[in-house]
Amino acid sequence: MPMISLRAPSLDVFEEKDDIVVKADLPGMNKEEIEVTVTGDVVTIKGEKKKEEEVKEKDYYRRERSDGSFVRSVELPCEVKSDQIKANFKDGVLEVRMPKTEEAKKKCVSIKID
């Protein structure tokens, strides 16, 4: 049976102090099924959920839980220190923390509004 494409996860990208943070909802997945990569200013989250067991379709009244794979990429708002990125997966939520580079921190200036 061919692999189905899962719906891309919902995610938030925000700034918290000196970090760029990406949070993605990945319910029903294990951390072993998830891959996170950062290339330049793009973070990519890939996942593949495999079928737990072979089930005969005729025994089902309804089947909405699926297996398959997804890929989600998002452009980061500034440069990050790729060697200091940390990822954590808990209760179906992936959190990736990426420290901003010193140059990126300097570029952010608050402007007073008159």
Residue-range domains of the chain with CATH:
11-107 (2.60.40.790)
Dump pLDDT digits (tens) for 52-105.
Answer: 655 566 676 666 666 788 999 999 998 999 999 999 999 999 999 999 988 877
Phi/psi at 103 (5° precision):
-65, -40
Q: What is the 3-state secondary structure (H, E, C) of 7-48?
A: CCCCEEEEEECCEEEEEEECCCCCHHHEEEEEECCEEEEEEE
Burial status of residue 21 (CB atoms within 10 A of its CB: 0-12, 13-18, 19 or more): middle
pTM: 0.77
Number of helical (H) and strand (E) elements in the chain, helices listed first: 1, 7
Beta-ladder partners of 32: none
Average pLDDT, integer, range 7-18:
90
Pairing relation of β-strands 68-75 and 42-49?
antiparallel
> Cα–Cα distances in Å, from 53 out to 25, 67, 77, 89?
24, 11, 41, 24
pLDDT of amino acid 113 = 86
CB 106 within 8 A of CB 96: no
